[in-house]
Amino acid sequence: MRTMESTIRAAAIEHRSWKQELYVFLRNYRATPHSSTHVSPAELLFGRPIRVKLPQIEPEPTDDIVRATDRQSKTKMKQYAEKKHSFKQSSIRVGDSVLVRQNKINKLTPPPPV
């Protein structure tokens, strides 16, 4: 996970314990509601929300009609944004030559400039 690597890298740069920062990151991740289930993984596992220092916002109950309307408005917004920003399909095909990003040296050093 890229966010987990960036957490470890930030802890190493700030001279803090990367293990402790990883535990804090995982606790917050597990307490955050998932976008598809609207429930946090910890709540699904333990049957109750866990206490963390994240702000708690209760989502409003939605029904299928609201979701269908939301889906229609999102597709309209996407079409508008594609039209406004001159969206076009990529011309890159399988077998084309492309530039490749350089590999990182190890997990604690930032990646080389592109």
pLDDT value, residue 86: 85
User: At which residue do the structure tokens 């009609």 appear?
Assistant: 65
100 exposed, middle or buried (CB, 10 Å; 0-12, 13-18, 19+)?
Answer: exposed
Tell me what pLDDT residue 114 has: 59
* Amino acid 3: pLDDT: 83
The pTM of this model reads 0.46
What is the reported pLDDT for 66? 66
pLDDT at 113: 64
In angstroms, the CA 78 to CA 65 distance is: 20
| Tokens, residue 23 | 């535990």
The per-residue pLDDT for 99 is 80
Distance in angstroms (rounded) separating the CA atoms of residues 45 and 31: 11
pLDDT at 76: 92
The model's pLDDT over 76-113, given as tens digits with 9 standing for 90+, comes to 999 899 889 888 888 889 999 888 776 777 777 766 66
Q: What is the pLDDT of residues 5-53, one digit of tens each?
A: 888 888 988 989 999 999 988 888 888 888 888 888 999 999 888 887 7
Query: What's the CA gap between 32 and 3, in Å, rounded?
Result: 14
DSSP assignment letter at 95: T
Can you tell me the distance from the alpha carbon of 6 to that of 107, in angstroms, rounded to the nearest whole number? 9
- The rounded distance, in Å, linking the Cα atoms of 59 and 49 is 14
pLDDT of 58 over the 80 cut: no
Q: Cα separation of 63 and 13, whole Å?
A: 46
